[in-house]
Chain A
């Protein structure tokens, strides 16, 4: 019983801060300035959301950028992770050790921010390009080791053997035999990668100057840093002066946050059934 009370309190501590944001986004701007932020709006006021959806070119573009980067990035990342993990799993593969070592080094030693930045900007010329938002997320040694371990524990070698006897090519064995039974780990990795891409702001901050390529997170950074930003960005130039008074600045910021975390909460239950299984089997003996 005490345990339940503790966990109910703990769960509330996890949820309430988010509900505070929801409440602020639904509160009338005047009430906010008079009473401060509260957990319960006295009157539901949707004007922040109306404003967000009716005026926001920036929001639509940022959603497009975040969605593109997340979908493309997640697909590529999961594919590359599986492609690397599978040969490492194959007992008969003679270069296993070398490729294991190649990965291990990346976990030990890193060049750090400065060389990374200069490589992307000066040598690869990726400033203001969506590739700069996708490419950095594609190299994660830890996920490869998790996936390899999952293969080792759930994909029987006999299956590979019998596939070969039946004359299936290596590609066919990989795509039609190994991947389908590895869905739990692939879904888990996909969830983490989706989150990483959707929540990424760092690469936008480093590489993106063009406002058309701002991701959702980066637009939010601009919003919390400079209150003026979205008045200028959201409203068209001529209309700006007229609407400026009516812009619900405080609630609008929080509405933007809610709009950005919506998809995450939506996607989570979908992955959850795989989540525990994939992570547990993959991680226990890393």
Chain B
């Protein structure tokens, strides 16, 4: 042990700075989860504040907030995961069929571009379409269907669709890159053999490409399932302009925790929701992983 430490001291020294950064950013906050069981007041400080037992959780689950944000978070994520998977894989398969290197490169470049824009910029784009007076949709498209001015930022029921479209626009292109990489890795011989046997393009896709993509689809879906209690904060906070009128359909655990912490300064409720999110998230990852291992030991993450 000691011998090895001395022998590999340079490599250990290389590891030191990143290890410290991970300790600060990831490990200390993990231990900080106990805050959810404290009744924090700023006079006594975080360590000195009295223990509150399960009071914070009792308050959180006594409100209708907990149910609403949980349902919203999970429902959005399930829809995003399923449609994201289908659209990204289809897109990857389609791009792969494009003949002509230049065209294929151009399409790929353009497809990825939306992902390069921050959610703040995306919120401006959505706003440019939905602005109640000047918005492109509101001013030029909706009148064609006989609607006059509509303020979308007041209509919660429209937002599941708006957010879905925004999310897909932002993420499908980049999501397909990893599948495209996997497709490029498939051996040409398989396709040549299939062509010899008279397989059509469609048969090649369904019998060769998709089955070979399945392991990576399973892995990525597991990763995503583990994150089902987390959401794209920017999407739900900025794109909705944090509009109070929309909360029934747009409030998710992350926005709830943020609002509790920063805007309302309600540390008890916020830290309870935070704890709930972290712990369930952890069990989801473990569960999803063991499920994957049962299906196929090769595809599990660990």
Contacts and interface: CB of A to CB of B under 8 A. Distances in A.
Interface of A: 3-4, 6-7, 10-11, 13-15, 17-18, 20-21, 24, 32-33, 35-39, 80-81, 83-84, 86-87, 90, 93-95, 99, 102-106, 108-119, 122, 124, 135-136, 138-139, 141, 144, 169-171, 174, 195, 198-202, 205-206, 217, 220-221, 224-225, 250, 253-254, 257, 260-261, 264-265, 268, 272, 276, 279-280, 283-284, 286
A106 B33 CA distance: 14
Contacts of A10: 91, 107, 111
Interface stretch (B72-80, B128-136, B187-195, B203-211): B128-136
B11 interface: yes
B275 A112 contact: yes
A141 B91 CA distance: 28
Across chains A and B, which 3 residue pairs bring their CB atoms closest together, nearest first?
A: A115-B32, A111-B29, A36-B139
9 contacts: A35-B139, A37-B139, A38-B140, A80-B17, A87-B11, A111-B33, A206-B262, A280-B185, A283-B178
Given A32-B134, A83-B18, 9 more contacts: A11-B107, A110-B29, A110-B30, A111-B29, A112-B274, A118-B35, A138-B18, A170-B10, A268-B116
B41 interface: no
A109 B128 contact: no
Given A21-B124, A110-B281, A83 B14 contact: yes
A58 to B, nearest CB: 15
B200 interface: no
Interface string B36-62: 100000000110000000000000000
A85 B118 CA distance: 28
B117 A36 contact: no
Given A15-B113, A283-B178, A284-B185, A111 B278 contact: yes
- Give the contact-size bracket for chain B: 35 or more
A39 B136 contact: yes
B234 interface: yes
A93 B113 contact: no
B46 A106 contact: no
Q: Which of B21, B131, B184, B233 has the most CB of A within 10 A?
A: B21
Given A112-B33, A115-B35, A4 B98 contact: yes
A114 B233 CA distance: 15
Contacts, number: 253
B227 to A, nearest CB: 10
Contacts of A83: 14-15, 17-18
B82 to A, nearest CB: 20
Contacts of B163: none
B267 to A, nearest CB: 7
Interface string B223-247: 0001000000110001001100000
B145 interface: no
Contacts of B257: 112-114
A80 B138 contact: no
Contact of B32 (A32, A104, A118, A286): A118
